[in-house]
Amino acid sequence: MKNFTRIALSVLFILMAAAMVFAGGEAEEEVVAYPTQEIEAVITWGAGGLTDNIARNFLPLLEEQLGGSKIYVQNKEGASGAIGSQYVMGKPADGYTLLVTTTESCGTWNVMGISDMDVTDFQPIIMMSSLTPTCYVSADAPWNTVEELIADAKARPGKIISGFAGPGSLGHVSALLFSKYSGADFNIVPFGGGAAVVAALLGGHVDVAFNPLISVMENYKAGKVKLLATFSNEKILDEVPALGAQVPSFQPVMPYGVMVMILVHKDTPESIVNILTDAASKACADPRWKEFADKVYIEIMGQTGDEFWEVVNNWKPTTTWLLYDAGVATKSPADFGIPRN
C-alpha cells in the first residue's frame, strides 16, 4: 500500500511539473472578471475647469477600451485635491474608484502642509497629459520678447507685477521658476483664480502672467495678449519661441508643466491594475485623443509604471523647492526625501 501511495504521488508530481512546463514554467494566472459593474471616476478639481475638461474627454475612450462598462464622474474639489483623494483612499481597493488629479495637487500636499498624503500613496494607471504654461503680456505691453521682459525686470526690481491664481498653482510656480532661472525680480501677487488673472492683465492691473496655453489662446487670437514664450525646449506654436531655446539658462528645467493623471487605491490587485493600464494606454493612443489634445494645446503623455514615477520624481524637486525657497511651503522637501536639483 505504501509503495502504491509513493508511486501515485510521484505520478502526480510529474503531471504537475509537465503542466508547468507546458504553461511556460509558471502557474497560469487566474482570470479576473473586471470590470463587471460601473466605475466611479473622482476628479479633484471643479466642473468646467481644465482638468475636468481633460478627464471628461479621456474617460469615454477608456470606457470603450474596458468593454463599455459605464464610468460615471464626480467632482470632489477642495484642499488642493486632498478631499477627493482622501475619498478614493477610503474606498475599496477593487479598481472601481478612479482618481483623476494633477501633480499640482498631490505632488505638493506634504510640503505645503495640506495633507500627509502623497502621490506615492496611490497606484498609478497612466499620465494622460501635460499642461504647458506660457509667459504672456497684454498687447500694448512694452516687451515683445522674454529677453526684453527679463532685462526690464532686472533694471526695475519688484516693479513689474506678475499675477497668479493661488499658492502652489501652476501660474505661481511658473512665476517663481521664471524669476529663479532668469534673475528677473517680479512683484508676484495672487488674484484668486486663473480667469481673474487674465482679467487683471487685460485690465492693466497685472503686467505679466503664466497660464496654460488653452487659458489664453482666445485672447491671443483676438490680439489682446502677446505670447512671449512657452515653457518648453521646443516650439509648441510655430510663432511662439520655446523658453529653453530662447534663454539657455532655462534648458535644464524645461519642459515644465502640470501633469494630469489617473490613479487608484494603492492596494488594488495587480491583475486589475494591468487591465486598467492596458485600456488607458490604448485610449491614449486613440486618434480622437490626439485630436482633442491638439485642440486644447495639451501635450499627450502616456507614461505608466516605472516611466510614470520617473516623470513624477523629475517634477517634484523643481516644484517643491521653489515653493519652499519662496516661503510658501511650510515643510522642507528634504523631510520627505526630495533632493534639491
Interval 303-309 mean pLDDT: 96
Query: Is the same domain home to 249 and 138?
Result: yes
DSSP codes of every residue in 270-327: HHHHHHHHHHHHHHHT-HHHHHHHHHHT-EE----HHHHHHHHHHHHHHHHHHHHHTT
Domain boundary among 233, 253, 273: 253
Pick from 224, 228, 174, 187: nearest CA to 203: 224
Average pLDDT value for residue range 156-174: 90
pLDDT at 317 over 50: yes
> Do residues 100 and 81 make contact, with C-beta atoms less than 8 angstroms apart?
no
Residues 159 and 304 in one domain: no
- What domain range is 193 assigned to? 133-253
Q: Peptide bond before 255: cis, by omega within 30 degrees of 0?
A: yes
Q: What is the pLDDT of residue 30?
A: 58
**216 and 244 both lie in a single domain:** yes
Q: Is 206 a domain residue?
A: yes
Residue 88 lies in a domain: yes
Residues 230-280 have pLDDT tens digits of 999 999 999 999 999 999 999 999 999 999 999 999 999 999 999 999 999
- Among 218, 253, 288, give the residue marking a domain's end: 253
pLDDT in tens, 179-228: 999 999 999 998 877 788 889 999 999 999 999 988 899 999 999 999 99
Beta strands in 195-242, from DSSP E residues, in sequence order? 208-212, 225-230
Give the CATH number for residue 204.
3.40.190.10
- Tell me: do 220 and 82 sit in the same domain: no
Whether residue 22 sits in one domain with residue 167: no
d(CA 255, CA 156): 28
Q: Does 198 lie in the same domain as 115?
A: no
CATH number at residue 96: 3.40.190.150
Q: Is residue 296 part of a domain?
A: yes
pLDDT at position 31 is 63
Over the chain, what is the mean pLDDT? 88
Question: Cβ neighbours of residue 10 under 8 Å, at least 6 residues apart?
Answer: none
- Tell whether the model's pLDDT for residue 8 goes beyond 80: no
High-pLDDT (> 90) share of the chain, %: 74
Percent of the chain, pLDDT > 70? 91
CB 99 within 8 Å of CB 122: yes
Are 247 and 295 in the same domain?
no
Q: How confident is the model at residue 80 (pLDDT cuts 50, 70, 90)?
A: confident
Q: How many domains does the chain have?
A: 3
Give mean pLDDT, residues 61-79. Answer: 92
Kindly state whether residues 293 and 241 are assigned to the same domain: no
What would the pLDDT profile of 33-44 be if each residue is shown by its tens digit? 899 999 999 999
Q: Would you say residue 325 lies in a domain?
A: yes
Same domain assignment for residues 97 and 245: no
Range with the poorest average pLDDT among 13-17, 108-112, 173-177, 261-265: 13-17
pLDDT score for 47: 85
pLDDT of 157 strictly over 80: yes
Listed in order, strand segments (DSSP E) in the chain are 39-43, 71-75, 97-102, 122-131, 133-138, 161-164, 187-190, 208-212, 225-230, 258-265, 299-300
- CA distance linking residue 103 with residue 101, whole number of Å: 7
Task: Examine the fold and report which residue of 214, 230, 253 is the final residue of a domain before the chain moves on.
Answer: 253
Helix-strand-coil split of the chain, %, nearest 5 = 45, 20, 35
Q: For residue 341, is it within any domain?
A: no
CA 205 to chain centre: 30
Provide the whole-model pTM. Answer: 0.85
Q: Considering the domain boundaries, does residue 307 fall inside one? A: yes
The per-residue pLDDT for 90 is: 95
- Do both 328 and 301 map to the same domain? yes
**Residue 294 domain-assigned (yes or no):** yes
Q: Do 246 and 281 lie in a common domain?
A: no
> Both 231 and 146 in a single domain?
yes
Any domain includes 192: yes
Condensed to tens digits (0 to 9), the pLDDT of residues 9-21 reads 343 333 343 344 3
